[in-house]
């Protein structure tokens, strides 16, 4: 499986088209939550959204599929960005990327729920603190914002990929083996009937990460039958599992949802084959930077704004203004919170890595054992035995005879 020729493309070339797709996916999720989220019709829009937004509301009912596109892109990008890195460097990059904006979003969303409890009361404060770790799903603690469930899936993917692949040194064969084994584990997990195992192997979404990884290998090294087999198997699993997801998202039907997922796979296949390499629009990089803060902040804040402003603005104007306002908020969070905090956090973590490397480089000198004090006891000198003349062989702990006794 190792390539016989040179690498097809640079390992860390930035594909701005992926930034654009990420923002499009985020907007799909945003519109879905603003038109179909919990309590929307009763508390926010004060009317059925399919009457206020004919046509749009029906299409927005499939916006939850934007999460699947996120996972596809994530598999591609993580494989690309981790190539040639150590586990420590990989961990620093992921922590710096995930946590600064997330910490702010948890605090901001909690503040909105405390001050304006339109849809839900704020969580217990201990729950808020647990949410700051991003490990709340593993601890059985509710998310401050329902959309945060995807973050645990992403985080566990990073941990698995780091421990299984990055730690051993990334090669094509190891990455392919990871894809195959993780796919098999994700198929077996539901039969185990253990929630922890199910969460660990991706909660039914491993196929999207696996396909994204395979698409990156195609992009960098060229396509082959094995990689196409992984992608095809992932697509089959993804489409078949839509039946289960549609039971949760009652706004959707199977065939349109399957068509959306298929379009996602086709779009990634085109990117993997270089059809988007000529797209170099700078604004797409900015669009990609807004995606994560927008996703973290949109639901409770957006619905609260809609509930407050609905009596004063027409529905279409209010929807457009809310989305624009959320994008502006995301931009401010990116510039004023995410970037400066990430910069400081990266420096601190890299210094920590350097100090640990320096500590590991120091040779360990075995400690010399201090002489055992000879404490007199009833017929004993500590652990050694006394000889007739009081001399002791400290090396062997055996009594020594005096020269006179030997003669």
pLDDT in tens, 186-207: 998 888 877 777 777 878 899 9
Q: Are residues 283 and 384 in the same domain?
A: no
Q: Say which range, 171-180, 253-262, 388-397, has the weakest mean pLDDT.
A: 388-397
DSSP letter for 378, please: S
Residue 42 lies in a domain: yes
Q: What is the pLDDT of residue 368?
A: 61
Residue 230 lies in a domain: yes
Q: What is the pLDDT of residue 405?
A: 43
**Percentage of the chain surpassing pLDDT 70?**
84
pLDDT in tens, 80-103: 999 989 999 999 999 999 999 999
Q: Can you name the residues that pair with 174 across neighbouring β-strands?
A: none
Question: Structural domain of residue 392, as residue ranges?
Answer: 375-401
Work out the pLDDT band at 264, boundaries 50, 70, 90.
Answer: very high
Q: Mean of the pLDDT values across residues 211-216?
A: 98
179 or 113: which carries more pLDDT confidence? 179
pLDDT in tens, 355-382: 988 888 888 666 565 555 544 444 433 3
Q: What is the pLDDT of residue 371?
A: 57
Q: Say which range, 187-191, 228-232, 242-246, 299-303, has the weakest mean pLDDT.
A: 187-191
Mean pLDDT of the chain: 85
Q: Are residues 380 and 312 in the same domain?
A: no
Listed residue (205, 191, 292) closest to 241, CA to CA: 205
Residue 407 lies in a domain: no
Listed residue (285, 368, 296) closest to 330, CA to CA: 296
Q: Are residues 166 and 299 in the same domain?
A: yes
Q: Are residues 164 and 236 in the same domain?
A: yes
pTM of the model as a whole: 0.84
CA distance 361 to 114: 50
Asked if 275 and 5 count as a contact pair (C-beta separation under 8 A), the reply is no
Residue 367 lies in a domain: no
How many residues does the structure list for the chain?
407
How many domains does the structure of the chain reveal? 2
Q: What is the pLDDT of residue 122?
A: 59
Work out the pLDDT band at 397, boundaries 50, 70, 90.
Answer: very low
124 or 391: which carries more pLDDT confidence? 124
Whether the pLDDT of residue 180 is over 50: the answer is yes
Q: Are residues 392 and 294 in the same domain?
A: no
DSSP letters along 175-205, please? Answer: HHHHHHHHHHHHHHHHHHT-HHHHHHTTTT-
Residue 6 lies in a domain: no
Whether the pLDDT of residue 404 is over 70: the answer is no
Q: Are residues 84 and 178 in the same domain?
A: yes
Q: What is the pLDDT of residue 196?
A: 72
CA 91 to chain CA mean position, Å: 11
Q: Are residues 292 and 396 in the same domain?
A: no
pLDDT in tens, 17-65: 999 999 999 999 999 999 998 777 767 898 899 899 998 999 999 999 9
Which residues touch 9 (CB under 8 Å, ≥6 apart)? 219, 220, 274
Residue 1 lies in a domain: no
Q: What is the pLDDT of residue 113?
A: 87
DSSP letter for 65, please: G
Q: Are residues 380 and 355 in the same domain?
A: no
Residue 300 lies in a domain: yes
CA distance 348 to 87: 17
pLDDT in tens, 322-362: 999 999 999 999 999 999 999 999 999 999 988 988 888 88
């Amino acid at each position: 499986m190792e390539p016989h020729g040179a690498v097809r493309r640079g390992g860390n070339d930035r594909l701005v088209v992926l930034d654009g797709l990420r923002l499009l996916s985020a907007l799909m999720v945003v519109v879905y939550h603003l038109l179909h989220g919990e309590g929307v019709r009763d508390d926010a829009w004060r009317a059925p959204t399919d009457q206020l937004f004919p046509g749009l509301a029906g299409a927005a009912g499939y916006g939850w599929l934007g999460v699947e596109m996120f996972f596809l892109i994530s598999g591609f990008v993580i494989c690309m960005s981790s190539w040639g890195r150590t586990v420590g460097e990989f961990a620093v990059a992921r922590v710096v990327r995930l946590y600064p904006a997330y910490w702010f979003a948890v605090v901001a969303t909690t503040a909105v729920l405390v001050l304006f409890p339109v849809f839900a009361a704020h969580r217990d404060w201990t729950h808020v603190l647990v949410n700051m770790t991003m490990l709340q799903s593993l601890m059985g603690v509710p998310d401050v914002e329902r959309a945060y469930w995807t973050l645990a899936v992403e985080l566990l993917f990073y941990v698995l990929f780091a421990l299984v692949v990055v730690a051993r040194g990334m090669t094509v064969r190891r990455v392919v083996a990871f894809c195959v084994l993780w796919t098999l584990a994700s198929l077996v997990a539901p039969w185990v009937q253990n929630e922890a195992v199910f969460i660990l192997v991706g909660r039914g979404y491993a196929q999207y990460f696996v396909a994204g990884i395979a698409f990156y290998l195609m992009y960098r090294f060229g396509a082959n039958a094995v990689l196409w087999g992984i992608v095809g198997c992932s697509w089959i699993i993804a489409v078949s599992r839509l039946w289960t997801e549609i039971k949760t998202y009652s706004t959707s039907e199977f065939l349109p949802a399957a068509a959306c997922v298929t379009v996602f796979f086709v779009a990634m296949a085109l990117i993997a084959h270089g059809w988007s390499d000529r797209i170099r629009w700078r604004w797409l990089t900015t669009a990609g930077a807004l995606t994560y803060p927008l996703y973290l902040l949109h639901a409770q804040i957006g619905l609260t704004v809609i509930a407050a402003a609905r009596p004063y603005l027409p529905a279409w104007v209010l929807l457009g203004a809310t989305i624009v306002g959320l994008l502006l908020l995301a931009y401010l969070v990116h510039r004023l919170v995410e970037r400066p905090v990430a910069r400081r956090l990266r420096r601190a973590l890299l210094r920590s890595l350097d100090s640990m490397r320096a500590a590991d480089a120091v040779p360990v000198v075995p400690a010399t054992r201090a002489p055992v004090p000879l404490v007199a006891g009833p017929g004993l000198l500590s652990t050694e035995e006394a000889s007739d003349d009081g001399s002791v062989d400290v090396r062997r702990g055996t009594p020594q005879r005096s020269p006179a006794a030997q003669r």
